[in-house]
Structure 1
Amino acid sequence: MLDLSLKNYVDWRVAQVMPVRSGFGYRVFLKYPDGSEKIQQKSGFKTEKEANKAREKTIAELYNGTFVVYAKVNVADFMMFWLETDLKKRTDSYETYYNYCGIVRNHIIPILGKKKMMDVTRGDVQKLFNTKADYSRSVAELVKTIMNVSFRYAVTNKVIRVSPVDGIGLPKAEKPQQKSGFRTRRIDTQKTLTMEQIQILLEKSKDTPIHMQVMFNVLMGLRRSEINGVKYSDVDYINRTLKVERQLGRVHNTAKENFAPKTFTKQEVGLKTKSSCREIPIPDYVFEAILKERQVYEKNRNRRKGTFQDLDYICCSTFGRARSKGFHCRYYKQLLAENGLPDIRWHDLRSTYCTLLLKEAFNPKAVSKLMGHAKEIITMDVYADNRGIIADGVPEIEDYMKEVLPNPEETEKLKKELLEIVVDVTEFLPHAG
């Protein structure tokens, strides 16, 4: 691991220029609080005049505190150091840390990793941003955030003099539509299901352990980690609503050995954002399934009194244990393949839920609340036939709230509409009752 502990020198001196190998050079002596002294050799100058000019520049940098102590550090080593030493300690979310690690390893290091930090130019940064914007706008935005924060950290730790990232922006996105200011994005309709396909998925999933998970996803729009964290105590049986207030995952900055076996990634942690905490209506079809699942839960608890873990999770094993984040994968892909359904991701079921609501002309603000989005707007892309509307995961506009909620009366209307939104599947599921 890279060591940046040498940045805090307390005194310095610079030796005179002298012949070094086939040219000229000089030495920089850095003194530290413990009395130790570190030496840096500056060489490779062809003439004594050139070396003296560089020496004067070094002295000026030492005076004003911009002298680079770690001139030979490459981007790959520094980025991994930053992730472990700075980001990991500052963020409370393991998911954020994990996602940032993925962006660094897969998108920044392959392009800039071998370069010395000192050699990264503004042109290099702009090229990186342009390349990633062509690949994915959301990835590019993450790359920009990570580069900004990490390179400022590099300046503080005397790895570089100034950040080449400052002032560099992403290339302009698609031209916004007039008046509304929405940015649009074409999304493949094959990544969502039709109502008839949802019917097939729901019916066929009854014979698998993921039936409840499928319903929570496609009929209520919950994220997979939220689904595993839902408890029976979160259900308001009178008003038929569900409080989403936790997810299962890893507790950040902890070690596996500190937890019971097979529970490290199944800890109750906070949701993705504050907006993710929400209360949403439960469709009748799902509510009936919850009641039936509760009967199974009670039966398992009674017959396995010595081994059953009464943790109150709706989606759990027959021993009451929480499901892992990837438990659904094998059953889900098999369901799609065996029933001729589009080979879409699990998260695309959440997009399907959002699509169904928007196609029914529900208030986009209300839909955004149901989805637990961090910002106040979901932009929409309307297809050529004007029937397919997709709205999850596309660019959001923060000030849209003012357009949707111009006054308190609208706010009350929104609350009422929010609690009335359910996906009615009864006509497609004649045997559901």
Structure 2
Amino acid sequence: MIDFRLQQYIEWKVGKVIPIKGKFGFRVTLYYLDLPKKVQQKSGFTTEREANVARDQTVGELYSGDYIVYENILVKEFLEFWLDAEYRKVGNPVNTYLSFRNVIQNQIVPYLGTKKIADLNSSHIQTLYQTIALSSRASASRTKTVMGLAMKYAKAKKFIARNPAVGVVIPKTENSKEYHTRSINSAKTLNLEQIKILIQASQQTPIYIAVLFNILMGLRRGEIVGLKYSDVDYVNQELHVQRQIGKAFVEKEGEDKPIILDAQEIPLKTSSSYRVLPIPDYVFDAIIKERERYEERKKEAGEQFHDFGFIFCSETGAARNKNFHYQYYKRILRGNGLPDIRWHDLRSSYCTLLLKNEFNPKAVSNLMGHAKEIITIDVYGDNKVMAVDCTREIDMFINELHLKQIEMPMAEDKFFDSVCVNPEDL
């Protein structure tokens, strides 16, 4: 464990330049209030003049408070310390910690792990980015994020004299994508008729309301299990997305570090994830019915019921694990001849329907809770193909849900009627 107190010396002394093992050097002694003194040797200088220049520089750093005490810490040791100190904290989301740890272990440590952090320079960082970018520009981008944050922390805590990551960029690659562009593969989404089948097939399963929140409102799985009835504005028929359920660090007696627990209330992914969404009539009716079942279960279970107010909850009111849907969802796909796509691809299906109806990509990004992304469809390049797959009912849905320009009745038996638009009429 790195001891931050070593940087908090109260007095210092720099010895004269002397011969050391055939070369020249000097010693620095640091004095502390509650710690033993620490002696550091600066040696290996070829000439006495060179050693004196280094000595004068060291004296200046000590006077200004910029002297680096942690001169022999390896990059691997520092990154492990930084990750625990900054991201392994009670109440913090675990995903960032796990993602950064993966980048450190698999990308940074193999190349720079055994170097001293005080010896890092911009050339080392540039070579790291360039090597990783040859295999994956996305991995290089994640590595750049981690290195940028870690080196900024190292400079602030005086592990290094200057930040070697400043100004270092990822080299361009031939197939690089535009910045902040997300591409959706339409082959991995459902069309309107398939959405109808999915919703109807899920009605008799515990994941019905979750399916609606995903395919008709584009919510992430963590957001779905985190929704509460208190998030519903029944007057304006709006949904306030303001939390998710996931892994978080919690204190445990006898443990020296916080441990990871599932099914904890944690903040949303980004500031843009906190959003207010109009609720389509079909989903609003389902929420009302789900609330009635919630109250019935509450009465039946009595004191054993956990009245936390979660919409997508267990029989005893507890929040569902965000992977709860998996077994039911895959069974529905297999049993109804639907494509074997991921749960997250339903969210992409919702996004695709909006884009195919000529919604502004930036507006769709806002509805989806993306931070700064423009979303594109990579398959539907032919306008005629797009037109055939659209329906009059989805136009009604979009107008009602997002534009709010006209009022259209959305009865269950009509919402999913498949009335295709003839491309020749467009």
Normalised to the residue count of structure 2, the TM-score between the two structures is 0.76
**Partner-residue secondary structure (3-state), 2:42:** strand
Retained in 1: the 8 A contact 2:184–2:378? no
Change (3 A) 1:279 1:49: closer
Change (3 A) 1:50 1:145: same
Aligned residue identity for 1:329: Y
Q: CA deviation at 1:207?
A: 4.4
Aligned ranges for residues 105-124 of structure 1 at < 5 Å? 105-124=105-124
Q: CA deviation at 1:425?
A: 5.4
Q: Which residue of 2 aligns with 1:368?
A: 365
* Counterpart pick for 1:226 among 220, 223, 226: 223
Q: CA deviation at 1:161?
A: 1.7
Counterpart CA distance in 1 for 2:30 and 2:349 is 61
**Partner-residue secondary structure (3-state), 1:361:** coil
Identity of aligned residues (%): 47
Instruction: Determine whether 1:275 maps to 2:265.
Output: no
* Counterpart pick for 1:309 among 306, 311, 325: 306
Deviations 1:77-114 (A, max 9, x none): 11121122245569965544444444434433343222
Q: Which residue of 2 aligns with 1:33?
A: 33
Aligned ranges for residues 6-405 of structure 1 at < 5 Å? 6-21=6-21, 25-34=25-34, 36-44=36-44, 54-87=54-87, 94-133=94-133, 139-172=139-172, 187-237=184-234, 239-249=236-246, 254-256=250-252, 265-336=262-333, 339=336, 341-375=338-372, 378-383=374-379, 385-386=381-382
Change (3 A) 1:139 1:65: same
**Partner-residue secondary structure (3-state), 1:304:** helix
Q: Which residue of 2 aligns with 1:410?
A: none
Aligned ranges for residues 406-425 of structure 1 at < 5 Å? 416=404
Change (3 A) 1:109 1:35: closer
Counterpart CA distance in 1 for 2:168 and 2:245 is 37
Change (3 A) 1:196 1:60: same
Counterpart CA distance in 2 for 1:316 and 1:90 is 25
Aligned residue identity for 1:232: Y
Q: Which residue of 2 aligns with 1:427?
A: 417
Retained in 2: the 8 A contact 1:196–1:428? yes
Q: CA deviation at 1:256?
A: 4.9
Q: CA deviation at 1:351?
A: 1.8
Q: CA deviation at 1:154?
A: 1.4
Q: CA deviation at 1:335?
A: 4.2
Q: CA deviation at 1:61?
A: 4.0
In structure 1, the gaps of 5 or more residues are 390-413
Change (3 A) 1:108 1:210: farther
Change (3 A) 1:277 1:73: same
Q: CA deviation at 1:341?
A: 4.3
Retained in 2: the 8 A contact 1:231–1:312? yes
Retained in 2: the 8 A contact 1:23–1:47? yes
**Partner-residue secondary structure (3-state), 2:304:** coil
Retained in 2: the 8 A contact 1:19–1:25? yes
Q: CA deviation at 1:197?
A: 3.5
Change (3 A) 1:373 1:125: same
Retained in 1: the 8 A contact 2:185–2:379? no
Retained in 1: the 8 A contact 2:66–2:158? yes
Deviations 1:259-300 (A, max 9, x none): xxxx95434444333432333233344334334433432332
Counterpart CA distance in 1 for 2:266 and 2:180 is 33
Counterpart CA distance in 2 for 1:305 and 1:38 is 65
Change (3 A) 1:349 1:50: same
Retained in 2: the 8 A contact 1:184–1:381? no
**Partner-residue secondary structure (3-state), 1:357:** helix
Change (3 A) 1:88 1:225: same
In structure 2, the gaps of 5 or more residues are 255-259, 387-401, 420-426
RMSD: 4.0
Q: CA deviation at 1:229?
A: 1.7
Q: CA deviation at 1:19?
A: 4.9
Q: CA deviation at 1:317?
A: 0.8
| Worse-matched range after superposition: 303-312 or 269-278 | 269-278
Higher relative contact order (CA 8 A, sep 6+): 2
